[in-house]
């Protein structure tokens, strides 16, 4: 084991030993696709619930993700700009993103990576982050991990949430949501709006790049019978972003991208055998359109791109006996992409995949859970892929202490752009990875204190990259990644909450050639955060966050170094009464000048204030 090779400087970022909080949530869904106690899975999972998102006053989902272990972020300009998430040093294309359980990764983008720039927190009730491969349940792209964003769930009583915020760069954010139940119906529906004048995306520009976003969410469950329900979900996002392209005329260019995302889900849930046999049949559609316009002719910023995913699923969980659960399913997915530049005829690509998986969960003795599974995917354009995985979780004291061990395989199938002509290579193999984790989590002081540490190691093979020798995508890259996630959460009083994390990530290029031994781009070796929240005796709620990132590199050759940085944020909230709360925050308090991606701007000191209500 390589735990002792890391220099002491890895912990010198903090004056004390700093760990990362594992969310104190009992139930998770990303481990098996069904609700499951978190202490029954060996996989590392963190949860951001509605209360935590409000406490952090996060505008975007990535603002909240920055406070979690194992997460690195790269944003290319102001809010709304292209934003990438790297889990445990994996590529952004190796993170599977779900909204209300439906995959939203863009099949029309070159590597199907999800752009987090448009994903705001309005009407989001929960974010669940699984770190490490879980392709057994989720299939392709779940190498680095899985992020499941859930809109506000239906409630028993009628609940109305609403909010409005104004701040730096003439930004305005509003959202509203109503949820409730009546008879056999349970529903939640809402909308959110955001606009901002922004800043110049590229450094040195004088022209601001603004952003506007309109989103809508809806969920409806119809309980037809005690053991049968229909489930409907929908999400819509329409954004317009002014951006700067390093391949255009520079920082004062005027390209605009209009992006639309839609997911729809129709499902039926039914239980058999006195509730021991859960079944879910569903159809989901993901529809993404991106249109770019640029006054400059013959520009790659003039594009018209469309992508769709049609997915049919049957998933089941059968408690064979109290100590044995079988999770299994079958899926069929059809993917389509259309890409056109400068008004040229569109390049069309299609493929389909049929999959089956099975996972056995054993509880041989009290506190011990053993999980193992297998999956096979059969692709129409390049054949089959079989994936294995398993994990162990053991708690000797009812969840106060949990020991975890995981072995997981992951894969990412070539995208339509990578694998089909005119740009793709039909001979590509899927990217694959083998990962193992060893972790310990412990709660003490009557559950007012939590600590944990996890060691992870992943070897990735046949990574897909564009070759300037063959001028097409090739399986040419190998990457070794290992590191440590450590964390603690402390509640010294009922009114104070302290959370901190530190992650050490070594993501090393092992591909033959000039970049052998180099670190992967845009992934800091050291990263950590500290948040403190205090409810004062005068009802005023105060909070502070410190985000610390070590040095990183902007390119594969490691010739462009990005200096590390520390950001401090302050926030406050005052509940006027049980229904109404005023809040405000100052971000980047010390006006730190920092760079996440070479050549792109970041925000200096900025302030926002708002009001939110719940009835």
Output the domain CATH number for residue 446.
Answer: 2.40.170.20
Asked whether residue 382 is domain-assigned, the answer is no
| Residue-wise pLDDT tens digits, 146-177 | 999 999 999 999 999 999 999 999 999 999 99
Q: What mean pLDDT is reported for the chain?
A: 92
- Give 210's contacts (C-beta < 8 A, 6+ positions apart): 195, 196, 197, 198, 241, 242
Tokens of 227: 């053991």
> Model-level pTM greater than 0.85?
yes
Asked whether residue 253 is domain-assigned, the answer is no
C-alpha 553/C-alpha 551 separation (Å) is 7
Q: Give the torsion through C-alpha atoms of 75, 79, 80, 82, to 10 deg.
A: -10
Tokens of 278: 């859960």
Q: Give the torsion through C-alpha atoms of 39, 45, 49, 54, to 10 deg.
A: 140
Selection from 264, 277, 158 nearest residue 228 by Cα: 277
- Give 4's contacts (C-beta < 8 A, 6+ positions apart): none
Residue 20 has pLDDT above 60, yes or no: no
Residue 298, CA distances (Å) to 120, 182, 287, 341, 342 in order: 33, 56, 27, 9, 6
Q: Which of 244-248, 478-482, 577-581 has the lowest mean pLDDT?
A: 244-248
Tokens of 62: 């990535």
Task: Please state the domain count of the chain.
Answer: 1
Tokens of 604: 């200096």
Asked whether residue 265 is domain-assigned, the answer is yes
Residue 1 has pLDDT above 80, yes or no: no
C-alpha 487/C-alpha 502 separation (Å) is 7
pLDDT classification of 315: cutoffs 50, 70, 90: very high
Asked whether residue 5 is domain-assigned, the answer is no
C-alpha 348/C-alpha 336 separation (Å) is 8
Domain that residue 63 falls in: 13-244+259-377+394-614
Asked whether residue 445 is domain-assigned, the answer is yes
Q: How many residues does the chain have?
A: 615
How many other C-beta atoms lie within 10 A of the C-beta of residue 35?
12
C-alpha 387/C-alpha 357 separation (Å) is 9
Residue 272, CA distances (Å) to 14, 275, 276, 471 in order: 53, 5, 6, 54
| Residue-wise pLDDT tens digits, 592-606 | 999 999 999 999 999
Asked whether residue 486 is domain-assigned, the answer is yes
Asked whether residue 3 is domain-assigned, the answer is no
| Residue-wise pLDDT tens digits, 481-499 | 999 999 999 999 999 999 9
**What is the mean pLDDT of the segment spanning 111-117?**
91
- Give 46's contacts (C-beta < 8 A, 6+ positions apart): 21, 22, 23, 68, 69, 128, 129, 131
pLDDT classification of 2: cutoffs 50, 70, 90: very low
Tokens of 543: 């909070």
Asked whether residue 2 is domain-assigned, the answer is no
């Amino acid at each position: 084991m390589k735990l002792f090779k890391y220099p002491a400087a890895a912990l010198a970022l903090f004056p004390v030993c700093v760990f990362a909080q594992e969310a104190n949530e009992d139930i998770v869904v990303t481990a098996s696709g069904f609700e499951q106690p978190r202490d029954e899975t060996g996989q590392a999972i963190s949860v951001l619930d509605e209360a935590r998102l409000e406490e952090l006053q996060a505008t975007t989902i990535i603002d909240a993700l920055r406070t979690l272990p194992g997460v690195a972020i790269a944003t290319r300009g102001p809010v709304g700009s292209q934003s990438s998430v790297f889990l445990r040093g994996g590529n952004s294309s190796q993170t599977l993103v779900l909204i209300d359980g439906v995959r939203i990764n863009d099949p029309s983008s070159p590597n199907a990576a999800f752009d987090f720039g448009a994903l705001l927190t309005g009407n989001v009730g929960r974010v669940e982050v699984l770190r490490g491969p879980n392709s057994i349940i989720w299939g392709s792209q779940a190498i680095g991990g899985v992020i499941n964003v859930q809109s506000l769930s239906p409630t028993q009583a009628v609940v109305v949430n609403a909010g409005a915020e104004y701040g730096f760069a003439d930004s305005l954010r509003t959202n509203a949501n109503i949820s409730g139940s009546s008879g056999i119906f349970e529903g939640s529906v809402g909308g959110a709006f955001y606009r901002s004048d922004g800043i110049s995306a590229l450094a040195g520009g004088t022209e601001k790049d603004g952003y506007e976003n309109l989103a809508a969410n809806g969920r409806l469950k119809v309980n037809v019978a005690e053991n049968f329900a229909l489930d409907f979900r929908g999400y819509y996002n329409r954004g317009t972003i002014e951006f700067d392209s390093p391949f255009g005329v520079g920082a004062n260019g005027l390209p605009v991208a209009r992006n639309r995302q839609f997911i729809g889900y129709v499902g039926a849930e039914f239980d058999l055998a006195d509730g021991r046999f859960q079944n879910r049949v569903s159809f989901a559609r993901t529809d993404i359109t991106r249109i770019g316009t640029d006054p400059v002719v013959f520009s790659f910023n003039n594009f018209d791109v469309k992508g769709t995913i049609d997915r049919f699923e049957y998933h089941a969980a059968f408690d064979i006996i109290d100590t044995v659960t079988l999770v299994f399913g079958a899926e069929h997915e059809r993917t389509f992409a259309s890409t056109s530049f400068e008004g040229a005829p569109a390049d069309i690509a299609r493929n389909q995949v049929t999959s089956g998986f099975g996972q056995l969960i054993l509880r041989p003795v009290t506190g011990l859970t053993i999980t193992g599974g297998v999956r096979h995917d059969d692709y129409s354009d390049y054949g089959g892929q079989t994936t294995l995985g398993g994990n162990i979780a053991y708690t000797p004291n009812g969840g106060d202490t949990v020991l975890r061990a995981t072995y997981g395989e992951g894969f990412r199938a070539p995208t339509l752009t990578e694998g089909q002509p005119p740009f793709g290579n039909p001979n590509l193999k899927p990217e694959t990875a083998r990962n193992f984790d060893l972790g310990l989590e412990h709660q003490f002081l009557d559950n007012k204190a939590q600590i944990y540490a996890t060691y992870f190691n992943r070897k990735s093979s046949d990574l897909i990259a564009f070759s300037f020798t063959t001028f097409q995508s090739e399986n040419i890259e190998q990457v070794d990644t290992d590191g440590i996630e450590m964390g603690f959460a402390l509640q010294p009083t009922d009114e104070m909450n302290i959370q901190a994390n530190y992650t050490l990530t070594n993501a090393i290029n092992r591909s033959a050639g000039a970049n052998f031994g180099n670190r992967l781009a845009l992934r800091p070796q050291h990263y950590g955060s500290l948040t403190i929240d205090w409810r004062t005796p005068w009802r005023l709620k105060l909070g502070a966050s410190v985000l610390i990132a070590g040095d990183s590199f902007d390119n594969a050759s490691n010739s462009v170094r990005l200096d590390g940085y520390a950001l401090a944020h302050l926030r406050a909230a005052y509940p006027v009464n049980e229904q109404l709360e005023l809040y405000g925050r100052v971000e980047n308090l010390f006006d730190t000048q920092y760079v996440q991606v070479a050549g792109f701007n970041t925000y200096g000191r900025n302030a926002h204030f708002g009001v939110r209500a719940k009835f």
